[in-house]
């Protein structure tokens, strides 16, 4: 915008030129030849600067040849913001998004978000998922859902739906950190399992259940058993099959590390007249495994250990509150 400069730029394209600078006070763009070298015009001030620039270009009409599309602009903005800490290093068009417990309007917003960012939208958990988007009206069942637990173990982003809603208002991908899910083990106890999981994955640190072995109740529903085995394997633990109380001592000698026996600690999937009989047998089973040297835990303790990203939760008498 320098008075004697005849160079003009399409706004979104100017944002892709590192040498261009934003005049914070005058709300103009300096070309590379006339940009001052000072902190006030630095392109690293993205959070406020990019927003003001993008507001100059809100037209949704088709762009002429040589100009940048909305998707290119969004991707460029996000790449230039990757120097910020605690933000996804994955390119925007490589994001894989999974929505959990979203309202109808939040689902629509997620679809629009995926379209604008050229991201991939999936319906089921896969280890290629980069972001799990959780609805605002989240309940305990959602927090302990298979997708959320797996995302923690794989070090993925778990963010509230506000992350996509705010983007649709401003048309800029915001850093995920302010929107990252925090769980609660009590009225005043926050649990930052997602943050810990991401940090451990980024560091290449040992996984949550590394060195631990797990065997399972014979009375688990087949779908629950599969979920538990997958969670343990994702956490670096060793799921063991065909282990009986009698064979456990020998197995403990062969496999170093503690052995946990998991039973279902929640209500039954199907309430039947045989429930009391099965419950009695399950209790007897737990006693036998405990006598054989296994640490007996419910599947809810497994979930809590993942949510807090702390395997010490599995120890007797432990809870969220002791390690927060």
Q: For the segment 236-271, what is each residue's pLDDT rounded down to a tens digit?
A: 999 998 899 999 988 888 888 899 999 998 877 766
The lowest-confidence range among 52-56, 72-76, 268-272, 312-316 is 52-56
158, 152 contact by CB (below 8 A): yes
Q: Tell me if residue 190 falls in helix, strand or coil.
A: strand
Amino acid 129: pLDDT = 97
238, 213 contact by CB (below 8 A): yes
pLDDT digits (tens, 9 = 90+) for 172-194: 778 999 999 987 655 445 578 99
Q: Kindly list the distances between the CA atom of residue 151 and the CA atoms of 97, 109, 128, 133, in Å, as whole numbers in the listed order.
A: 11, 21, 10, 11
pLDDT digits (tens, 9 = 90+) for 18-28: 556 655 455 56
**Mean per-residue pLDDT for 220-247?**
95
Q: Which CATH number fits domain 92-203: 3.30.160.270, 3.30.300.30, 3.40.50.10190, 3.30.470.20?
A: 3.40.50.10190
d(CA 153, CA 174): 24
% of the chain exceeding 90 in pLDDT? 51
Average pLDDT, the chain: 77
**Mean per-residue pLDDT for 150-172?**
93
Q: Tell me if residue 175 falls in helix, strand or coil.
A: coil
Distance of CA 1 to the CA centre of its chain: 42
d(CA 224, CA 269): 10
pLDDT digits (tens, 9 = 90+) for 265-300: 887 776 666 677 788 899 999 999 999 999 999 999
Indicate if the pLDDT at residue 130 is higher than 50: yes
Residues shown for the chain: 324
d(CA 268, CA 222): 13
Beta bridge partners of 238: 213
Would the CATH topology of 92-203 be identical to that of 213-323?
Answer: yes
User: What pLDDT band is residue 36 in, cutting at 50, 70 and 90?
Assistant: low
Question: Own/partner pairs for 114-120, CB < 8 Å, 24+ apart?
Answer: 116/70, 116/71, 116/74, 116/168, 116/171, 117/71, 117/74, 117/75, 117/92, 117/93, 117/173, 118/71, 118/75, 118/92, 118/93, 119/92, 119/93, 119/94, 119/95, 120/95, 120/96
User: What pLDDT band is residue 149 in, cutting at 50, 70 and 90?
Assistant: very high
Phi and psi, residue 269, nearest 5° = -65, -40
Indicate if the pLDDT at residue 321 is higher than 70: no
Cα of first residue to Cα of last residue in the chain, in angstroms, is 53
Query: Where exactly are the structural domains of the chain?
Result: 11-80, 92-203, 213-323
Amino acid 267: pLDDT = 75
Amino acid 184: pLDDT = 67
Top CATH class of 213-323 equals: alpha beta
Q: Report the sign of the C-alpha dihedral through residues 195, 201, 202, 203, in that order.
A: positive
Q: Which of 31-35, 63-67, 110-114 has the highest mean pLDDT?
A: 110-114
User: What pLDDT band is residue 79 in, cutting at 50, 70 and 90?
Assistant: very low
Amino acid 7: pLDDT = 62
d(CA 116, CA 114): 6
Q: Report the sign of the C-alpha dihedral through residues 296, 300, 301, 305, in that order.
A: positive
Amino acid 270: pLDDT = 66
Amino acid 56: pLDDT = 31
**Mean per-residue pLDDT for 36-49?**
40
% of the chain exceeding 70 in pLDDT? 66
209, 237 contact by CB (below 8 A): yes
């Amino acid at each position: 915008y320098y008075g004697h400069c005849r160079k003009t730029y399409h706004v979104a394209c100017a944002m892709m030129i590192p040498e261009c600078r934003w005049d914070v006070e005058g709300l103009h763009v300096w070309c590379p030849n006339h940009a001052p070298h000072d902190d006030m015009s630095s392109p690293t001030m993205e959070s406020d600067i990019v927003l003001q620039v993008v507001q100059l270009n809100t037209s949704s009409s088709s762009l002429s040849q040589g100009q940048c599309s909305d998707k290119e602009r969004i991707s460029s903005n996000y790449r230039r913001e990757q120097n910020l800490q605690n933000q996804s290093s994955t390119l925007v068009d490589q994001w894989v998004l999974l929505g959990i417990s979203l309202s109808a309007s939040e689902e629509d917003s997620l679809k629009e978000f995926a379209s604008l960012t050229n991201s991939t939208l999936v319906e089921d958990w896969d280890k290629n998922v980069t972001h799990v988007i959780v609805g605002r009206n989240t309940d305990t069942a959602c927090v302990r859902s298979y997708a959320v637990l797996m995302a923690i173990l794989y070090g993925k982003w778990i963010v509230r739906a506000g992350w996509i809603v705010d983007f649709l208002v401003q048309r800029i991908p915001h850093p995920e950190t302010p929107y990252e899910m925090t769980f609660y083990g009590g009225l005043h106890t926050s649990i930052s399992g997602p943050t810990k999981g991401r940090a451990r994955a980024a560091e290449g640190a040992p996984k949550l259940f590394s060195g631990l072995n797990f065997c399972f109740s014979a009375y688990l529903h087949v779908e629950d058993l599969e979920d538990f085995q997958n969670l343990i394997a994702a956490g670096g633990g060793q799921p063991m099959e065909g282990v009986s109380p009698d064979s456990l001592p020998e197995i403990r000698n062969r496999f170093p590390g503690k052995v946990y026996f998991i039973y279902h600690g929640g209500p039954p999937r199907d309430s039947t007249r045989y429930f009391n009989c099965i419950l009695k047998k399950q209790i007897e089973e737990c006693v036998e495994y405990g006598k054989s040297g296994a640490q007996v835990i419910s599947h809810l303790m497994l979930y809590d250990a993942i949510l807090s990203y702390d395997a010490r939760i599995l120890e007797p008498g432990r809870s969220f509150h002791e390690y927060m």
